Structures are given as C-alpha cells and as structure tokens.
Amino acid sequence: MIAGINLAKQSKQAAVSLAQKRFAHDLIVSPKTGRTIIKTGAGGRSSSNGHVVTVFGCTGFLGRYLVNRLARDGAHVIVPYRDEDDMRHLKVMGDLGKIVPMEIHLRNKESLEAAIRHSDTVYNLLGRDYETKNFSFADVHVEAAGVLAELSQKHDVERFIQVSAMNADIDSASRFLSTKAQGEELVRSIFPSATIVRPSFMYGQEDRFLARLAMSRGLSIRINGGNTKVRPVNVSDVAGAMNKMLEGSNTVGETFELVGDKEYTYRELLDFIKEITNLDIGDVNVPKPVASLIAKAMNLLPWQTLGADEIERMMIDDKLTGVKTFADLEMEPTSLELTGIQYLRRFRTNLYSDEPLKKGVVGKKKTFHTSYL
Ligand SMILES: NC(=O)c1ccc[n+]([C@@H]2O[C@H](COP(=O)([O-])OP(=O)(O)OC[C@H]3O[C@@H](n4cnc5c(N)ncnc54)[C@H](OP(=O)(O)O)[C@@H]3O)[C@@H](O)[C@H]2O)c1
C-alpha cells in the first residue's frame, strides 16, 4: 500500500520536473524581430505557449471560438472591446490574467496601438454584414484593416491574420464582398506576410445563417429560386484553423479559403432544416429587385434585419479559387449533415414530440444522413 503511494508520488514528481524543464524547441527566436517566444509548462490552459495575441473582433461570433482556442493553448490574449458587456464571457476562457481586455475605438489610434504594442500576432476579425450611420463597409473592412496592419508593422508584430470572406472580389455586386477584397489588397500592401482567411458562411450555436433560415418559420424568402450554391463551414473549424496558423510557418503570406465539406443550394438547406425541425417553412421565390426593395425598407427599422447587401450575397455561388484550404492545414471540415442537429434542435416544433418514432427515413424519401434523428 505504502509502496504504491510512494510510486504515485515519484511519478507525480517526475511529471512536474519534466513540465518545468526547458528544451531547445521551447524557445523560438522570431526571424523578423529577434523577439523570443518562450514556452513554459506542460502545455494547455495553465501553461504559457509564449504568444501574446490580439484578437480584434473578439466580441463577435467567430471571435469567441478563436479566443477560446488560443487561451486553451496557453496564449496571452488581448481582447479589444467597445462595450464591456460584450467581452465579459471571454474573460473566463483563459487562466487568471491570461485574457486582457482593452477598450478601443476604431477612430482612436492610441487605443488601437495600446492593444497591439505587446503582441507578436494580430488577428483582425472586424467585419459587419450591414452598414450603420457611424461606420460604412469601407470604414470597417478597408480603412480599419489598413490602420491595424500599419500599426502592426510599426510595432514589429510577427504575424497578421486578416479575416476576409469567401467570394471577396473587387468587382463584386455586393459592397460587403468588394470592400473585403479591397481590405485584403490594402493589408497585403502594408503587411506582405499577412495571412488572409476567407471563410464561407459560418454556422454554429449562435450563428446568423442556419438560425436565420430556421427562424423564418411560416415564410422563407427564396432568392434566386433557392439555387445559389454555398458551402457552409463550422465556426469551430475556422477557429481551429486560425489557431493552427499561429504556429504554422507554412501559412505566412498565404490565402486560405475555408469551406464546409459539401456544397448545398439554399433549397437543399431549407429541406434539411425542415426535416430536422418539422417546421412548416413555406417558400416563396421573390425576384431580386423586390427582395432588395423590401430589405431596404426593413433597414429603416431601428434593429438589425436582412440587409440589402445580403440579398446580393445570396445570389453569389461559393467558388473555390485554388488557394490553400483546410487540407493544407491537415484538417477535415466537419459535416453539416452529421452535426446540424446540435444547432437546429432548439427550433423543433412541439409537434415533433407527438410523432411516432421514425426508423431512419424522414418523410417520403431519405435525403440526408440519418444520424441526426
Ligand atoms: N459569420 C459569417 O458567416 C462570415 C462569413 C464570411 C466572413 N465573415 C467575416 O468573419 C469575421 C468574423 O465574423 P463574425 O460572424 O464573428 O462577425 P460578427 O459576429 O458580426 O462580429 C464582428 C466583430 O467586429 C466588431 N466590429 C464591427 N464593426 C466595428 C466597429 N465599427 N468598431 C469596432 N468593432 C467593430 C464587432 O464588435 P462589437 O461586438 O463591438 O459590435 C465584433 O466583435 C468578420 O470579418 C466577417 O465579415 C463572417
């Protein structure tokens, strides 16, 4: 018995001393700045991987997943915020003192500089699906991205990772996408080794993609006959890929298109949502000019609605352009068909519980993988 306890003590001591030892690979000297990054501890949340990272846009949807990943791996994460309430949930994602909130304003350079000054990596996730009276698409996607890239160069930041969007194109009919492309160009011209990330529509627990389609309940507007092809990607996959980019020297100066495992039309996605939720989603195809007009009128409301520019985006097929993908990070995207139930279950009608048990076949024909049943 005593011998067993001693053995356990010894192995614990051995593990502790191993965790406290330093190895050559625990020390990285930045070739760009000469700065040293020193790892301490056995790895994980309570150790330090030596990185100090700033995540602009951390209070958004992707931001919370990325901050969680970075902090879980022992990075110090600076979380710039506008509204204190929006960043509170981020504080508990890292060990004590590892998450450092800093108040910023995009038009106050000193505040941005303070958030960048100590970091070796800056992620720029700033973005908006709609314009406000204070900030246009260009203000957020181009001007702010340029300022952050400039300040990062000034303060010898090692890596700059810029989040753009799938289908970003200077000539796009969508101003969201054309400004995203301008932002990419500007960032590259200022910070040539920047990594550009273009995610497709992201889905997850708090998304504005599946949830919006499911919430349209009685009436869902189909644009383009529901024929636009998209490749929705799981937000956790995008955050995981961006976390990997922190260490991956093969991602420097590259562009990544992060898309889901399969292509769907909006019509197929609605069918999928209907099968899972049992919602009676009616579908009306609305011609684009009418939809844009309705969206413009709805945009006068004081709360966020479907923007006119989002109608434009709903007309554009996701097209891969041959740049790097998940495969280059040795990752496989999660299947929407296998995991969609997690995000859609909450939309199920109470009628679902009254139905007899189904045996793997939904409705008349089985169109999707049945593991979500
Ligand atoms: N979600 C998608 O499906 C999708 C698809 C393709 C590309 N993207 C891009 O991926 C990035 C992250 O997406 P997301 O869904 O996480 O976006 P999100 O939830 O809308 O979050 C956007 C973030 O940007 C910040 N931001 C926006 N305007 C700002 C301003 N004027 N001043 C200061 N901060 C501002 C927001 O801060 P506040 O919280 O203070 O507002 C928030 O932290 C964005 O660049 C987005 O354009 C997203």
User: Is the four-CA dihedral 110, 112, 115, 119 of positive or negative sign?
Assistant: negative
Say if strands 52-56 and 76-81 run parallel, antiparallel, or are unpaired: parallel
Q: What does the pLDDT look like over 182-195, one tens digit per residue?
A: 999 999 999 999 99
Residue where the block lists tokens 């919430």 = 215
Q: Is 214 in the pocket of ligand 1 (CB under 6 A)?
A: no
Q: Is 105 in the pocket of ligand 1 (CB under 6 A)?
A: no
* Tokens (6 digits) for 345: 């279950």
CA pair distance 130, 306, nearest whole angstrom: 8
Q: Which atom belonging to ligand 1 lies closest to the Cα atom of 132? A: 31
Section 333-342 average pLDDT: 94
CA of 92: how far to CAs of 44, 77, 96, in Å? Answer: 15, 12, 8
Contacts 24+ apart (CB under 8 A), 9-16: 15/42
pLDDT bucket at 5, cuts 50 / 70 / 90: low
Q: Is 165 in the pocket of ligand 1 (CB under 6 A)?
A: yes
Q: Is 245 in the pocket of ligand 1 (CB under 6 A)?
A: no
Closest CA to 368 of 278, 273, 265: 273
Q: Is 82 in the pocket of ligand 1 (CB under 6 A)?
A: yes
CA pair distance 216, 174, nearest whole angstrom: 23
Q: Is 123 in the pocket of ligand 1 (CB under 6 A)?
A: no
Q: Is 126 in the pocket of ligand 1 (CB under 6 A)?
A: yes
Q: Is 127 in the pocket of ligand 1 (CB under 6 A)?
A: yes
Q: Is 135 in the pocket of ligand 1 (CB under 6 A)?
A: yes
**Ligand 1, atom 46: nearest CA belongs to which residue?**
127
Q: Measure 3 CA to ligand 1 centroid, in angstroms.
A: 58
> Residue 368 pLDDT > 50, yes or no?
no
At the topology level, CATH places domain 18-199 in Rossmann fold (3.40.50)
What rounded mean pLDDT belongs to the chain? 88
Is the model more confident about 38 or about 20?
Answer: 38
**SS3 per residue for 214-279:** HHCCCEEEECHHHCCEECCEEHHHHHHHHHHHCCCHHHCCCEEEECCCCCEEHHHHHHHHHHHHCC
Is the model more confident about 18 or about 323?
Answer: 323
Q: Measure 62 CA to ligand 1 centroid, in angstroms.
A: 8
Pocket test for ligand 1, best of 65, 126, 136, 201 (most atoms within 8 A of CB): 126
Q: What does the pLDDT look like over 81-120, one tens digit per residue?
A: 999 999 999 999 999 999 999 999 999 999 999 999 999 9
CA pair distance 259, 294, nearest whole angstrom: 30
Pocket test for ligand 1, best of 65, 82, 184 (most atoms within 8 A of CB): 82
Asked if residue 318 lies in contact with residue 176, where contact means CB atoms within 8 angstroms, the answer is no
Q: What does the pLDDT look like over 195-240, one tens digit per residue?
A: 999 999 999 999 989 888 888 765 667 888 889 999 999 999 999 9
Q: Is 146 in the pocket of ligand 1 (CB under 6 A)?
A: no
**Ligand 1, atom 35: nearest CA belongs to which residue?**
126
Q: Which atom belonging to ligand 1 lies closest to the Cα atom of 61? A: 16
pLDDT bucket at 34, cuts 50 / 70 / 90: confident
Q: Measure 140 CA to ligand 1 centroid, in angstroms.
A: 9
CA pair distance 257, 348, nearest whole angstrom: 32
pLDDT bucket at 155, cuts 50 / 70 / 90: very high
To the nearest 10°, the Cα dihedral for 227, 321, 135, 118? 140
Asked if residue 147 lies in contact with residue 110, where contact means CB atoms within 8 angstroms, the answer is no
Share of the chain above pLDDT 90, in %: 62
Q: Measure 56 CA to ligand 1 centroid, in angstroms.
A: 9
CA of 247: how far to CAs of 75, 305, 370, in Å? Answer: 12, 38, 38
